[in-house]
Amino acid sequence: MITSRSNARVRQAADLAKKSRYRNETGLYLVEGPKMVGELPQDQIECVYATEKFLETHGPDFSALPHLQTVSEEVLKAMCDTQTPQGILAVARQCRFGLSDILSAGKPALLMILEAVQDPGNLGTILRAGEGAGVTGVIMDEKTADIYAPKTVRSTMGALFRVPFLRTGDLAAALEKIRQSGVRLAAAHLEGSTEYDEADYTGPVAFLIGNEAAGLSSRITELADIRVRIPMEGRVESLNAAVAASLLMYEAARQRRKSR
């Protein structure tokens, strides 16, 4: 059992919880809690840490996980990002997808394109809702929140393991390649000329979602084939990025179900 907070493995986990640069350098990240660890593909597991108390209760479900180490309650708290750890966490290897991987899905593309979406909860929710809506991939720029930050990982509720995604340093170039592959680009925009439920999304489509405060940049907006808006009443000027994204992708999912 690991009982020292100065143990190298403990320091590694603590750094993965707190430092984005360290996650990028090592290609590792943390997965916390029994639900998430239970859904984590075993070939992505670097190491699993659990308390004896947790294993006494959940041992049959988790004791066979690879590279399992027991740790004290105090040590696990030092490793976790949360104030009240759930008894188990894993160090996992990050997934790497290329644009060709995302565009080669076996069904018409339904993509979410994110520009500078900075709230980890929004990013995680977009992946989670995206899995439910059947999205085939999520593409984000480098200004978007770190998808491997602990808060983002928790917000995905496991969708992180199943929805392919890509982080790119040149979003405009990626959009050009996506368009060339036959995918229509639909920008969510306050000044859109078409209401979101009037456009046709039965064919390959990518929705462009911008920053929570500033929306899409003019450069990215100009690349869109269509600008769609979500009509609102009252004094509300715009919707939360994750809410807007969910409305769009579920409208696309609805249309596709009806067209079968």
Q: State the CATH number of the domain containing residue 20.
A: 3.30.1330.30
The confidence score (pLDDT) of residue 82 equals 84
The domain in which residue 86 lies consists of 8-93
Using the predicted structure, report yes or no on whether residue 237 has a pLDDT greater than 80: no
| Report field, pTM of the whole predicted structure over 0.95 | no
What does the pLDDT average to over 97-125? 94
Q: Which of 26, 60, 93 is the last residue of a domain?
A: 93
* Residues 75 and 120 placed together within one structural domain of the fold: no
Using the predicted structure, report yes or no on whether residue 242 has a pLDDT greater than 80: yes
Q: State the CATH number of the domain containing residue 117.
A: 3.40.1280.10
Concatenated DSSP letters for 93-153? Answer: EPP---HHHHHT-SS--EEEEESS---HHHHHHHHHHHHHHT--EEEEETTSPPTTSHHHH
**What is the pLDDT of the chain when averaged over all its residues?**
95
